[in-house]
Amino acid sequence: MDEKDLKETQVSSKDVYDGSILHVKEDIIKLPNGKEASRELIRHIGAVCVVPVTSDGKVIMERQFRYPIDRVITEIPAGKLDSYDEDRLEAAKRELREETGYTASDWRDIGLYYPAPAYSDEKITMYLATGLTKGSRDLDEDEFLNIIEIPIEELVRDIVSGKITDGKTQVAVLKAYEIIRNA
């Protein structure tokens, strides 16, 4: 399928904000019809998320306050990369251990997730982790979260009913459930 008629190309770019996690830019782009338009976008270092499933089919989940939405939500372990070239699997292993205390003997890359492609290039690599062993957590100084276990079937129902609202959690858990169910 030829989609050259949809391609936008950058004419110019200027920095609007350069933070430790987010880098906001305003680009002038050339549209497929030759006209120019402005695009505000966020450049993000990237992230990983993990669906850790116990031998009895429970998912290790986190309850964490999220300041931008002013509420505590349930989500899977996740975190940003330390650098653009950091190995994504190693980052997932680190985040799982630091946030939950668990390590896993079996890892499966279950795909990419772009949470907001209309205005951000953030790319989250999703993993399924099994063969779990419990250890001790090593939370960052500014991290506060509680760990809970939810049977995967119940978690899928919570996603479908709207109880779980975090996008990466919805996508990764549904993918993991299908993989486990069809194994």
Catalytic residue list = 141
Question: Both tokens of residue 103?
Answer: 């390590």
Separation CA 59–CA 50 (nearest Å): 10
Give Cα 132 distance to the centre of its chain: 20
Asked if residue 166 lies in contact with residue 73, where contact means CB atoms within 8 angstroms, the answer is yes
Going from the C-alpha of 86 to that of each of 21, 48, 110, 115, 171, the distances in angstroms are 15, 11, 18, 20, 23
